């Protein structure tokens, strides 16, 4: 094949300023990649906050049924899944926007409500996709300093200017696992002018037991500028299928549905997500496993003399003195994949997802060995 890069035109230079400055999202290392690189088997992946339970049987059977119709385009309106969400959340269908994972929804929101003339506020250490989406539309990112590794809502409020069009809040935040209470969120929303769209990203909400954790959906009535985003990738165990959603006032949903690709969610994802919403046993089993795993991992880290950021998600961020990169690499060699956080500006932290009890133990044993 001829050399396709041999051109007189510089296609990198031709890209928009924002896109040129992008660094692609760094996902957790896939198991197969580590197998290829180090020739290891029996690898444990605790790098992407996935559900260790395996797929719900209801979801699996829905996927199987969909196979017969694989030659057909999916239902672009996502009617069946929206109907299931209406029942599950008690919202109107007109408030829902479906996405190819909630990342897709975050991107739709940014494309609809941020532009090169506007500013987007998010916190230091906040989920990486806010920065990527903001930069890809050439909007100005306004990053406010974190407080105790979490969002400082006062700082975020003070950062508002007449150019602010969008604010991202991760509750809880990934990678730090910190959360904001209902009163903090409500107070913030009360102060933010109505013309600024606020995204409350609740990707991990189903795991959370804390009584002061807010239910974003219940705040929508009061705050028409609020968008709540959620996902089927975590507690519902469907990360590979890519399905997430936003709930918002119908006018915002109308706008998001205009920028959405016509078939952004595939039939398998639509069917599996609709089915899993009725598998409450799966959800509660996953929650219990996660609660126990959080204690197991936190206790294990403490026994190793390591400090961690208390987390309400299905992951824990911990500090290593040697530098995260080295410990990450040494863990890989033990067949354990975690997430380095240098790209979040946290070079001395690593994030580990909560797995099965045996996987958590494998991680703790490997960590003890490499430290």
Q: Taking the complex as a whole, how short is the minimal distance between the CB of residue 87 and ligand PLP, in angstroms?
A: 21
Q: Taking the complex as a whole, how short is the minimal distance between the CB of residue 172 and ligand PLP, in angstroms?
A: 8
Which window, 72-80, 98-106, 187-195, 329-337, contacts ligand PLP (CB under 6 A)? 98-106
Q: Taking the complex as a whole, how short is the minimal distance between the CB of residue 49 and ligand PLP, in angstroms?
A: 5
User: Does 50 participate in binding ligand PLP (rule CB under 6 A)?
Assistant: no
- What is the SS3 assignment for 275? helix
Contact (CB, 8 A) for 178 and 151: yes
Q: Taking the complex as a whole, how short is the minimal distance between the CB of residue 207 and ligand PLP, in angstroms?
A: 12
Q: CA-CA distance, 358 to 336, in Å (whole number)?
A: 12
Q: CA-CA distance, 110 to 369, in Å (whole number)?
A: 44
User: Does 52 participate in binding ligand PLP (rule CB under 6 A)?
Assistant: no
Is the four-CA dihedral 238, 241, 242, 243 of positive or negative sign?
A: negative
DSSP-assigned letters across all residues of 26-94: -PPPPHHHHHHHH---S-EE-SS---TT---HHHHHHHHHHGGGTTSPP-TT-HHHHHHHHHHH---GG
Among 107, 119, 201, 359, binds ligand PLP (CB under 6 A): 201
Q: Which residues in 304-333 contact ligand PLP (CB under 6 A)?
A: none
Is the four-CA dihedral 300, 306, 307, 312 of positive or negative sign?
A: negative
Q: Taking the complex as a whole, how short is the minimal distance between the CB of residue 131 and ligand PLP, in angstroms?
A: 13
Q: Taking the complex as a whole, how short is the minimal distance between the CB of residue 325 and ligand PLP, in angstroms?
A: 21
Contact (CB, 8 A) for 256 and 108: yes
Among 81, 85, 203, 297, binds ligand PLP (CB under 6 A): 203
Q: Which residues in 221-260 contact ligand PLP (CB under 6 A)?
A: 231, 233, 239, 244
Among 55, 89, 108, 170, binds ligand PLP (CB under 6 A): 170
Among 113, 127, 179, 223, binds ligand PLP (CB under 6 A): 127
The distance between the two most distant Cα atoms of the chain, rounded to a whole number of Å, is 62
Spatial neighbors of 10 by CB under 8 A, at least 6 apart, are none
Q: CA-CA distance, 107 to 117, in Å (whole number)?
A: 17
User: Does 103 participate in binding ligand PLP (rule CB under 6 A)?
Assistant: yes
CB nearer to ligand PLP: give 132 or 275.
Answer: 132
Q: Taking the complex as a whole, how short is the minimal distance between the CB of residue 5 and ligand PLP, in angstroms?
A: 31
- C-alpha distances in Å from residue 11, one per residue of 16, 19, 137, 309: 10, 12, 18, 43
User: Does 49 participate in binding ligand PLP (rule CB under 6 A)?
Assistant: yes
CB nearer to ligand PLP: give 144 or 233.
Answer: 233
Burial 142-176 (b: 16+ CB within 10 A, else e): bbbebeebbbbbebbeebbeeebbbbbbbbbbbbb
Q: Taking the complex as a whole, how short is the minimal distance between the CB of residue 369 and ligand PLP, in angstroms?
A: 28
- C-alpha distances in Å from residue 301, one per residue of 52, 259, 309, 319, 359: 20, 45, 11, 9, 14
Which window, 72-80, 97-105, 285-293, 343-351, contacts ligand PLP (CB under 6 A)? 97-105
Which window, 31-39, 99-107, 286-294, 327-335, contacts ligand PLP (CB under 6 A)? 99-107
Which window, 83-91, 101-109, 187-195, 335-343, contacts ligand PLP (CB under 6 A)? 101-109
User: Does 101 participate in binding ligand PLP (rule CB under 6 A)?
Assistant: yes
Q: Taking the complex as a whole, how short is the minimal distance between the CB of residue 126 and ligand PLP, in angstroms?
A: 8
Interface positions with ligand PLP (CB under 6 A): 49, 101-103, 127, 170, 174, 201, 203, 231, 233, 239, 244
């Amino acid at each position: 094949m001829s050399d396709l890069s041999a051109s007189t035109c510089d296609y990198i230079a031709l890209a928009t300023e924002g896109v040129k400055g992008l660094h692609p999202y760094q996902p957790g290392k896939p198991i197969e990649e580590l197998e290829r690189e180090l020739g290891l088997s029996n690898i444990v992946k605790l790098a992407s906050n996935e559900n260790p339970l395996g797929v719900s049987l209801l979801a699996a059977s829905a996927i199987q049924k969909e196979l017969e119709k694989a030659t057909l385009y999916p239902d672009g309106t996502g009617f069946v899944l929206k109907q299931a969400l209406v029942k599950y959340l008690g919202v109107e269908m007109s408030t829902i926007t479906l996405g190819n994972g909630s990342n897709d929804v975050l991107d739709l929101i940014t494309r609809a409500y941020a532009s090169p003339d506007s500013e987007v506020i998010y916190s230091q250490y906040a989920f990486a996709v806010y920065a990527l989406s903001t930069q890809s539309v050439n909007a100005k990112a306004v990053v406010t300093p974190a407080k105790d590794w979490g969002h400082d809502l006062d700082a975020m409020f003070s950062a508002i200017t007449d150019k602010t069009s969008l604010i991202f809040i991760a509750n809880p935040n990934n990678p730090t696992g910190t959360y904001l209470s209902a009163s903090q969120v409500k107070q913030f929303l009360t102060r933010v002018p109505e013309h600024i769209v606020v995204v409350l990203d609740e990707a991990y909400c189903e795991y959370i037991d804390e009584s002061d954790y807010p239910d974003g959906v219940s705040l929508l009535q009061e705050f028409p500028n609020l968008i709540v985003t959620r996902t089927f990738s975590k507690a519902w165990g469907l990360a590979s299928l890519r399905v997430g959603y936003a709930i918002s006032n119908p006018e915002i949903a109308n706008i998001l549905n205009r920028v959405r690709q016509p078939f952004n969610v595939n039939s398998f994802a639509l069917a599996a997500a609709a089915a899993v919403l009725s598998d409450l046993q799966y959800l509660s089993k996953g929650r219990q496993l996660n609660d126990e795993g959080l204690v197991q991992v936190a206790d294990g880290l403490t026994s190793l003399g390591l400090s961690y950021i208390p987390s309400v998600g299905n992951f824990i961020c911990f500090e290593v003195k040697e530098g995260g990169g080295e410990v990450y690499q040494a863990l890989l060699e033990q067949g354990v994949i975690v997430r380095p956080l240098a790209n979040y500006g946290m070079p001395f932290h690593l994030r580990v997802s909560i797995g099965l009890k045996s996987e958590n133990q494998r991680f703790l044993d490997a960590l003890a060995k490499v430290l």
